[in-house]
Structure 1
C-alpha cells in the first residue's frame, strides 16, 4: 500500500533552484571554462568579519540567545525595524506592528495563512516569484495570474478585472524577483487604492529594497495614517547582511493581524532564530555604511549588465528588465527556455533559470525568457557571461 500524500503538495512544482542544481549532475567543468552560476539570488559570501565577531560574542556571552524567544521576535529588533522604517518611509510604524520571522518566505506564508484558505484567490503578477506560487498551491488557494506588460510592470486596471468575491489579496514584489523591475511609487499607490477600495490586503515584498537604484523612499504607503488596514510589508535580512543561513525576515502589519500571525509562527517554528536576530540587529545598528557600499557594487553590476548588453542584442537577445539582483532576458532561439537552460550548462557552463519557472504552464512567454541573477558575478564575470551567451548555438 502506498503512503498517502496530500494532493495539494503532490501537485505543487518541485523547488526550481533544486531542479536546476540537478542539471549539474555528471557535468564536468574545466579550469579554463568554470561554471558561471547565475541561478540563485543569494549572497555566496559570509557576513562581514565585524558581524561574525559580534555574533561570536552573542554565542559566548548571551545565554538567552540559545533559548526560546518571543514568538514575534526579539523586542529590540522589532523596535529597531519600526524606528528605521518610520524614518525611511516617512510614516508612523510602531514595534507592535513588526513581527520577525524565519526568513521572508515564512513571512509570506504567515501573512497568507491569516488572509486566505482553500478555495480563496490571490492575485500574483507574472513573471512571479515561484515560492509565492508554491505556497498558494500547497494551501489550495487559487492563484490569479496578472501578466505584466513589456515594461515588466503590472497594470492595476487589469488587476481590477481579476477581482472576484473570493479574492483576498494582491501581492507585489519590488524591486522585482525575477524581472528586477522597480515599481514606481505612483503604481504602488494605485494598487494600494485598488486593494483598499475592495477590502483586500496589499502584500508588498521588499526583500531587495536595499538595492533599489532610487535614493528616495520607494513609496509613500506608510504615510497613510490607516496604512495597516490594507498594507502588509515583507522584508528579508538575508540579502542586506548575508544572513541567508540564519533565516531572518520581517513582516510589518497591523497589530491585530500580527496577533493572528503569532498563532501561525508559534505552531511552525515557536520563535525565529535567536542568533540570526541578534546578527540582524547588530547589522542594522552598525553596518549602514558597509551596506551602502554593497548597494553601490550591485548598482555597478546592474550598469554593466545594461552597458554591455549590445553584445547580446546584436544576436537577437532582449533585456526585458534589470534591477536589484536580476536581469530578465528574452532569448532568440526556437528551443524553449527549460531545454535551453539545460543546454547552456552543458555547452556554455552557465546555470540560469528558465522563464517557464516563473509563469503558468499555459503562458508561452516563459519559453522565451531567462532569469540571470547577477549579484555574485562582477563586471568581468558579466562580460564573460555575455561572451558565452553570444557564442551559444543550437
Structure 2
C-alpha cells in the first residue's frame, strides 16, 4: 500500500544542487584534472577564527544560548540590523520592523505564507532562484514568469501586463541569483511604485548585498533608495542572509525587514516551524556585524577581483556570451548545439567541471534555458578561474 502524497509536492522539481551532485557520484577525476565545483553559491571555508571563538565562548558561558529565545529573534540583533540598515540605506528602519529567521529561505517561505495561498499568483523574473519557485509550487501558488531577456534586468512595464486580480507579490533578487546582475536603483524604485499602485508586496531578496559593487558604507554608496521612502513599509519587504558575509551557512541565520503588522503574521509561521532561530547563530551574526566590517570589506574586494577575472575570461572565449556577472555568479550563454542540461553533464566527464544548466532557472521547455549556464565562482580563486577557462577552451563537442 502506498501512502498519500501531496500533489503539489509531487509536482515540485527536485532540488537542483542535489541533482547536480548526483552527476559526480561514481565519477573518478584524473589526478591532473581534479573537479572544479562551481555549482553552489555557498562559502566552503569556516568563519574567521575570531568569530568561531565568539561562538565557542557563547556555547561555554552563555546558558541562554542553549534555550528557546524570542520567535522573532534576539532583540540585540534586531536592533543592530535596524541601526546598520538605517545608516547604509539612508532611511529609517526600527527594531520592530526586523525579524530573524533560520536562513533566508525561511525568510522567503514565511513572508510568502502571509501573502499568498493556493490559487494566487506571484511574479518571478526569469532566470529565477529555483528555491523560490519550488516553494510556490509546494503551496499551489502560480508562478508568473517575467522574462528579463538578454539584459537580465526586469522591466516594470512588462511586469504591469502580468498583473491580475490574483497577483499578490513581485519578487526581485539583487544582486541576482542566478544572473549576477545588479538591478539599477531606478528599476527598483519603479517596481516599488508599480507594486504600491496595485496593492502588491514588493519582496527584495538582498542575500548578496555585501558583494554588490555599489554597496559600501565606507564610501557612502548604496544599491537603492527604497528605504528613504518614509512609507516604505506599506509595500517593501526585504530579505537578507548572514550565510555569505560571515560564512555562517551551517548556523542558518537570515532576516526580514517589513512592517510590524506583517511581522506579527510572520511570527505565526515561525512559531510553528522552528519556534525560534538558532541562538548561537544569532550571537555569531551580531558579533560579526559589530566586529567584522573591515573583514567583510576585504571579502568583497576578493569577490570583485574574481568577478573581473570572469569578465576578462569570457572576453577571450570564442562563441560564449556573458549575460551577467556579479556577486557570486556569472550567467552565460554557450555556443553549442547541445541543451545545457546535457552539456553540463558532458562537462563533468570531459572537463571535470560541475556547473548548473539554465534549464534549472527557467520555465520548463524554455529555449533560453537550454542555451544558458550558471557559474558560481565565489569559491574558486584566481588560479582556479584561469584553469576553468583553460578547460572550457579545450572542449570539443
Coarse TM-score class (shorter-chain normalised): over 0.9
TM-score (norm 2): 0.98
> What is the CA distance between 1:172 and its match in structure 2?
0.1
> What is the CA distance between 1:362 and its match in structure 2?
2.7
Work out whether 1:387 is the aligned partner of 2:376: no
> What is the CA distance between 1:142 and its match in structure 2?
0.2
Cα deviation digits, residues 93-126 of structure 1 (max 9, x gap): 1000000000000000001000000000000000
Report what 2:323 is aligned to: 320
Q: Is the 8 A contact 1:71 1:270 kept in 2?
A: yes
> What is the CA distance between 1:393 and its match in structure 2?
1.4
Report what 2:291 is aligned to: 286
Report what 2:372 is aligned to: 369
> What is the CA distance between 1:365 and its match in structure 2?
0.3
Work out whether 1:217 is the aligned partner of 2:217: no
> What is the CA distance between 1:310 and its match in structure 2?
2.5
Unaligned runs of 5+ in 1: none
Work out whether 1:358 is the aligned partner of 2:361: yes
Structure 2 distance, partners of 1:162, 1:362, is: 20
TM-score (norm 1): 0.99
User: What is the SS of the residue equivalent to 1:234?
Assistant: strand
Report what 1:160 is aligned to: 160
Structure 2 distance, partners of 1:392, 1:156, is: 39
Work out whether 1:230 is the aligned partner of 2:238: no
Q: Is the 8 A contact 1:311 1:386 kept in 2?
A: no
Report what 1:141 is aligned to: 141
Q: In terms of mean alpha carbon deviation, does 133-142 or 362-371 score higher?
A: 362-371
Report what 2:260 is aligned to: 255
> What is the CA distance between 1:30 and its match in structure 2?
2.0
Structure 1 distance, partners of 2:168, 2:198, is: 9
User: What is the SS of the residue equivalent to 2:305?
Assistant: helix
Report what 2:352 is aligned to: 349
The structure 2 residue matched to 1:264, chosen from 260, 269, 292, is 269
Unaligned runs of 5+ in 2: 216-220
Structure 2 distance, partners of 1:391, 1:258, is: 52
Structure 2 distance, partners of 1:123, 1:262, is: 24
Aligned-residue Cα RMSD (Å) equals 0.6
User: What is the SS of the residue equivalent to 2:65?
Assistant: helix
Aligned positions, number = 392
Q: Which runs of 4+ in 1 moved over 3 A?
A: none
Structure 2 distance, partners of 1:135, 1:35, is: 31
Report what 2:303 is aligned to: 298
Structure 1 distance, partners of 2:70, 2:259, is: 18
Structure 2 distance, partners of 1:133, 1:148, is: 16
> What is the CA distance between 1:389 and its match in structure 2?
1.0
Report what 1:4 is aligned to: 4
Q: Is the 8 A contact 1:311 1:390 kept in 2?
A: no
Q: In terms of mean alpha carbon deviation, does 237-246 or 211-220 score higher?
A: 211-220
Report what 2:185 is aligned to: 185
